[in-house]
Amino acid sequence: MKHYLLCGNIKLSDYKGKWLVFFSHPGDFMPVCTTEIIGFAKAYTYFKKINTELLGISIDSLNSHLAWLYDIYLKTGLIVNFPIIADSTGTLARKYGMISNDVSNSETVRNVFIIDDTGIIRTILVYPMNIGRYIPEILRTVTALQYSQKTSCMTPANWIPGNPMIVPPPRTFEELQKRNENIDKNRNGMSWYLSFRNVDNTPKLDKGK
């Protein structure tokens, strides 16, 4: 199914091969939403560096989107280069569970879907209507998912790119013994079930690198 947005018609399958941050906002010209759009626009370059695109959606009309983004441009000089879907019937928003009837029968809540380069949803974040999203955390989460996919490692709490990652736990008693020996030698863990390795030399995450 195609949906109309500021850049014309597009399908979610058009993003295959790229990661996608698909997010909803309750409505145009709303204060929290405006700060989020500005935040995403400022961070867009950083998302693109890790092969990730941004796609917004609300049930407001195309003309409303245009007027809102033009007003942002006049006030800040920022041009929002990523598309925003005009889902006036709410069809797509309801399919993705972006409308909470406990909050509103029409307005989308602040959902974020992080979709990988094969089209699989990897993370879902839901924020209340009155709390703005923290864009750096969304960027960090995408990066963590990509690093984990490339290294088969896991990220510990508060992980940021460049920090050590968690090595998957051993599956046999022999591997457990070797893991503990490695920890004793390199001081790179707490126990056989929690050890780390440095991923500073991990290849760049950009597509094709």
Sheet holding 189-191, edge to edge: 165-166, 194-197, 189-191
DSSP-assigned letters across all residues of 14-39: GGTTSEEEEEE-S-TT-HHHHHHHHH
Strands 110-115, 189-191: pairing kind: unpaired
Q: Which of 5, 12, 33, 98 is catalytic?
A: 33
Give dist(CA 24, CA 85) in Å, integer: 9
- The first and second tokens of residue 32, run together, are 């929290």
Give dist(CA 98, CA 90) in Å, integer: 9
Amino acid at 160: I
Task: State yes or no: is 33 an active-site residue.
Answer: yes
Find out whether 84 and 58 touch, Cβ atoms under 8 Å. Answer: yes
Mention every residue, 6+ apart, whose C-beta is less than 8 A from residue 55: 12, 15, 20, 21, 22, 23, 82, 83, 84, 85
Q: What are the catalytic residues?
A: 33
